[in-house]
Structure 1
Amino acid sequence: MENKLFTISVYSENNVGLLNRISGIFLKRHINIESLNVSKSEIEGVSKFTIVVNTTESWTRKIVTQIEKQIEVIKAFYHTDEETIFQETALFKIASHLLFDERQIQNIIKESHSQIVTVSREFFVLAKTGRRHEIDEMYHELEPFGIMQFVRSGRIAVSKAEMQITPLLAKFQHSETEN
């Protein structure tokens, strides 16, 4: 089996220490987490972890099984890139004079469909949302001009197919309100 990218979605209660235990599952298997994002989900009180790994499907299946053994985890799924819709966001901080002095910077902003978030006397900040390769492309285009700071988010993703999480989450929410 060959390595490829998998997106693991974990729905859980929002408890202290869960992130540490989940990352420990990857650490034990010497699997690097490519990207990690945690946010609230569509159900109140339930968090969603979006974890991207580059490994085999066999290892991914084993990891999901281990994650689901954590008491706070309601359900975990994994998907290939073809089965998900996903994006990342990046911020680029660039010296302000370049915005006005370098026509190429204006072309990069326009062609990359990025947005100017803020402009000050010393710097301006661009936001770019898209696929990893689109952000990498923009980085390489801006690099010769000097990037003062750069940060990118973890992947956020939704599955193309319906995940059978909604009924589980509804049950979870119903049981929480009864307690």
Structure 2
Amino acid sequence: MEEKQTYTISIYSENNIGLLNRISGIFLKRHINIESLNVSGSEIENVSRFVIVVNITESWARRIVGQIEKQIEVIKAYYHTDDETIFQETALFKIKSDLLFDQRQIQNIIKESHSEIVTVSRDFFVIAKTGRRYEIEALYDELQPYGIMQFTRSGRISVSKERMDISTMLKEFQLIN
């Protein structure tokens, strides 16, 4: 029996209304939880890139990519294991300002976690941390006893280690049309 593992699914598409809903519906119909979702521009003008993280078997990853590619606006979809990608997440932590000055340990936590202070005001300061999910969760656990006023984390952003020929494929497609 196939084992589940984390896959990053990258989707290159035209930027059309409703596509996100249809793509998420593909996962919903199969009762697959999306761990992380990020949509942004890509290296190709007017082409969006979805980065979706799921925990499934490889056969399911292959089937889902096939279903996604059936969407008219989708140009190409890929799936990769964590070993095949370079990935990061970013998190912001909002903490009471007096802790920055009254609790020396907070300054040590920031330094040791390779985080940075992005803003300081009279009432709060904000720490930014970029890294792997486990690094962000470790920082969260360290800051939790001091009181986190707000916390947010981005979805995964990633690039593949292997070359994805999407740019070449698009240029060829444009030459044909």
TM-score using structure 2 length: 0.97
CA apart distance, 1:173: 5.6
User: Could you tell me which amino acid in structure 1 is paired with residue 81 of structure 2?
Assistant: T
Q: Distance in 2 between matches of 1:168 and 1:156?
A: 22
Equivalent AA in structure 2 for residue 73 of structure 1:
V
**Separation of aligned partners in 2, 1:173 and 1:114:** 44
Aligned residue for 1:16, secondary structure, equals coil
**In 1, distance between residues paired with 2:106 and 2:11?**
39
Unaligned runs of 5+ residues in structure 1 are none
2:125 corresponds in structure 1 to 124
Check conservation: 1:90, 1:150, Cα contact below 8 A: yes
What letter matches 1:28 in structure 2? K
Structural mapping, 1:141-152, within 5 Å: 141-152=142-153
Which segments of 5 or more consecutive residues in structure 2 lack a partner in the other structure?
none
Instruction: Sort the Cα spacing of 1:175 and 1:128 in 2 relative to 1 into closer, same or farther, 3 A.
Output: farther
Identity %: 76
**Partners of 1:172 and 1:14 in 2: how far apart?**
17
1:83 has 2:80 as partner:
no
Question: Superposition RMSD on alpha carbons, in Å?
Answer: 1.2
- 1:54 corresponds in structure 2 to 55
Secondary structure at the counterpart of residue 5 of structure 1: strand
Q: In the alignment, which residue of structure 1 is the partner of 2:21?
A: 20
Task: Please give the alpha-carbon distance, in whole angstroms, between the structure 1 residues aligned to 2:54 and 2:48.
Answer: 19
How many angstroms apart in 1 are the aligned matches of 2:160 and 2:48? 16
Residue of structure 1 equivalent to 2:163 = 162
Partner of 1:106: 107
Alignment deviations for residues 86-105 of structure 1 (CA, whole Å, 9 cap, x no partner): 00000000000000000110
Q: CA deviation at 1:175?
A: 7.1
Q: Give the structure 1 partner of residue 67 of structure 2.
A: 66
AA of the residue aligned to 1:22: I
Q: Distance in 1 between matches of 2:115 and 2:147?
A: 17
Q: TM-score, normalised by structure 1?
A: 0.96
Alignment check: 8 A CA contact 1:11 1:46 kept: yes
Stretches of 4+ moved more than 3 A in 1? 171-176
Which has the larger displacement, 161-170 or 10-19? 161-170
Aligned-partner SS, 2:71: coil
User: How many angstroms apart in 1 are the aligned matches of 2:175 and 2:112?
Assistant: 48
CA distance in 2, matches of 1:158, 1:126: 25
Q: Deviations over 1:102-127 (max 9, x none)?
A: 01100010001111111000000000
